[in-house]
Amino acid sequence: MAATKKAINLLLLAAMQALVSAVMAAPSTKTPPGFVPGVKWQIEIQNPLSAKSALAPTDALVWDIDLYHVERNPAIIQHIRSAVKDATIICYFNAGLAQTSDCDFNSVWQTPAHKKLLANPIKGFEGEFWIDIKSQDARDLIKHRIALAQKLGCDGVDPDNIDGYGIDEGGDNGTGWNLSQTDYIKFITELATYAHSLTSKRGFPILIGQKNAPEIAPKVAPVLDFAVLEGCKGLQDGGSGGSGGFCDVFAKSYLDAGKPVFSIGYPKSLGGRGGCKASGVDSAEFAKVCAKSADMFSDVLKLSGGDVELDGCTQYCGLGVGKGVVTTAVDKKENETGECPRLGSSGVGVGEDLDSGEDGADKEED
Ligand SMILES: *[C@@H]1O[C@H](CO)[C@@H](O)[C@H](O)[C@H]1NC(C)=O
Ligand SMILES: *[C@@H]1O[C@H](CO)[C@@H](O)[C@H](O)[C@H]1NC(C)=O
Ligand SMILES: *[C@@H]1O[C@H](CO)[C@@H](O)[C@H](O)[C@H]1NC(C)=O
């Protein structure tokens, strides 16, 4: 009898532990099916996806594409959805800077009321200006971009450049706003609260991720749904040696919490500006960047160098050396500067209230 009771107690204990770990591993935001660590993804933000050519790879469930490519050509969303069942579409935009190719650059950021929210250009990208994220006005304008993503049918957003503190530390003031980690934590947290208050057309909260910025990962991961990393495996700009700390902080903050980490490597031997090698990266680089592919990061390898980066040429690690190279069809950039077609009645106007009440934001408090 005693032995049976002990066995039952052990069983109960095991069940409780399983329950606790299941609860701990479940992200707090309700996410679409398949949005889990290791999910296959693609990122295409250099040129707009071609909505006329067949989509590849169709087994990538998550797509990260540029918000303003979508505003210019909303058919891209349906193109992905008709090729990939249950696709989760993340719309990328620059959150830390306003850039001349943004659809709202002239109509919003260059107006007398808002021009004062922009300071220094980012080094190497003279048409991109750091935003004063300490200003509520500026944060609201970025929230309009999230609202636009929801209206266009995106499932989530990938707000880039949330690490301006790195060039401001030590009094360097590279952004022109003397921004700190705390300023960016506050910024991204406010964006997350807003994104989650909106409901996607598929009925899930709008997802929001962290781009790079490892220093603040432990602080912001609890309110975010995924991360997008560049070069965490030590291969950015062809550098050698793994910067384990960078990868590891995201493994701990996101993977352990059941949230995907989308990792981009830029190995030189994929071809760089010379084009996309059909045989993929050489075995030495493959060993470095794909060695940890068992770590549940969602890896893509991309060309490095200026305007070939984050374009169609992609290698996936899973199939081994010499395999897994895919080219996603794009339309060459069109109308990349200037205003985009207005959305008409369904669009998000500049002066429009951010109140999320009526935009299908029937929040579920659970
Ligand atoms: C590009 O601009 C031209 C002229 O304004 C317009 O007719 C065309 O529809 C635009 N194309 C895109 C993809 O926005
Ligand atoms: C930072 O740089 C901006 C633009 O150059 C300048 O206006 C501002 O006073 C500087 N702030 C600090 C704290 O150095
Ligand atoms: C810049 O910001 C830091 C806090 O992040 C503050 O301690 C410092 O006084 C600021 N510098 C100036 C000149 O305002």
Kindly report, residue by residue over 226-256, the tens digit of the pLDDT: 999 998 876 654 444 444 588 889 999 999 9
- HEC string for the chain: CHHHHHHHHHHHHHHHHHHHHHHHHCCCCCCCCCCCCCCCEEEECCCCECCCCCCCCCCCCEEEEEHHHHHHCCHHHHHHHHHCCCCEEEEEEECCEEECCCCCHHHHHCCCCCHHHEEEEECCEEEEEEECCCCHHHHHHHHHHHHHHHHHCCCEEEEECCCHHHHCHHHCCCCCCCCCHHHHHHHHHHHHHHHHHCECCCCCECEEEEECCHHHHHHHHHHCCEEEEECCCCCHHHCCCCCHHHHHHHHHHCHHHCCCEEEEECCHHHCHHHCCCCCCCCHHHHHHHHHHHHHCCEEEEECCCHHHCCCCEEECHHHCCCCCEEECCECCCCCCCCCCCCCHHHCCCCCCCCCCCCCCCCCCCC
CA of 140 to the centre of ligand 2 (A): 23
Which residue has the CA at smallest separation from atom 3 of ligand 1? 335
- Read off the pLDDT band of 334 (50, 70, 90): low
Name the residue of 73, 331, 335 to mutate for ligand 1: max ligand atoms within 8 A of Cβ. Answer: 335
CB-ligand 1 contact for 339 (6 Å cutoff): no
Residue 13 lies in a domain: no
Which residue has the CA at smallest separation from atom 14 of ligand 3? 178
Res 27: pLDDT: 77
Residue range 119-145: mean pLDDT, rounded: 95
- Read off the pLDDT band of 288 (50, 70, 90): confident
Residues with CB under 6 A from ligand 2: 119, 173, 176, 178
- Per the structure, the count of domains in the chain is 1
Q: Which ligand 1 atom is the nearest neighbour of the CA of 48?
A: 13
In this model, does residue 363 exceed pLDDT 50? no
Task: Give the Cα-Cα-Cα angle 95, 217, 234 (nearest 5 degrees).
Answer: 90
- Read off the pLDDT band of 353 (50, 70, 90): low
Q: For the chain, what's the residue count?
A: 366
CA of 335 to the centre of ligand 1 (A): 6
Res 22: pLDDT: 47
Nearest ligand by distance to the CA of 179: 3
Q: Domain range for residue 296?
A: 37-338
120: alpha, beta or left, given left = phi > 0 and alpha = psi -120 to 50? beta
Res 309: pLDDT: 92
Mean of pLDDT over the chain: 86
Which residue has the CA at smallest separation from atom 4 of ligand 2? 176
Residue reference for tokens 């291969």 = 235
Which residue has the CA at smallest separation from atom 6 of ligand 2? 176
Name the residue of 173, 180, 183 to mutate for ligand 2: max ligand atoms within 8 A of Cβ. Answer: 173
In this model, does residue 155 exceed pLDDT 90? yes
Res 301: pLDDT: 95
Residue range 86-95: mean pLDDT, rounded: 98
In this model, does residue 312 exceed pLDDT 50? yes
Dump pLDDT digits (tens) for 10-32.
Answer: 555 555 555 444 445 667 799 99
Residue 26 lies in a domain: no
CB 105 within 8 A of CB 98: yes
Residue 19 lies in a domain: no
CA of 102 to the centre of ligand 3 (A): 30
Residue 358 lies in a domain: no
CB 345 within 8 A of CB 296: no
Dump pLDDT digits (tens) for 205-217.
Answer: 999 999 999 999 9
Q: Which ligand 2 atom is the nearest neighbour of the CA of 171?
A: 14
CB-ligand 1 contact for 335 (6 Å cutoff): yes
For residues 107 and 244, which has the higher predicted lDDT (pLDDT)?
Answer: 107
Residue 105 lies in a domain: yes
Residue 345 lies in a domain: no
Q: Which ligand 2 atom is the nearest neighbour of the CA of 177?
A: 1
- Read off the pLDDT band of 289 (50, 70, 90): confident
Rg over CA atoms, the chain: 21
Q: Whole-angstrom Cα distance, residue 336 to residue 360?
A: 31
- Read off the pLDDT band of 340 (50, 70, 90): confident
CB 62 within 8 A of CB 298: yes
Report the CATH number at residue 115: 3.20.20.70
In this model, does residue 9 exceed pLDDT 90? no
In this model, does residue 181 exceed pLDDT 90? yes
Residue range 109-136: mean pLDDT, rounded: 95
pTM for the model stands at 0.86
The type of residue at 267 is: P
Res 20: pLDDT: 45
Residues with CB under 6 A from ligand 3: 178, 180
Residue 258 lies in a domain: yes
Residue 243 lies in a domain: yes
CA of 171 to the centre of ligand 2 (A): 9
CA of 180 to the centre of ligand 3 (A): 8
- What per-residue string of b and e applies to 118-143 under the rule 16 or more CB within 10 Å gives b? bbbebeeeeebbbbbbeeeebbebbb
Torsion angle of alpha carbons 348, 82, 62, 190, nearest 10°?
20
CA of 306 to the centre of ligand 3 (A): 34
Which residue has the CA at smallest separation from atom 5 of ligand 1? 335
Res 15: pLDDT: 55
Among 68-77, 208-217, 259-268, 288-297, which stretch is predicted with the lowest mean pLDDT? 288-297
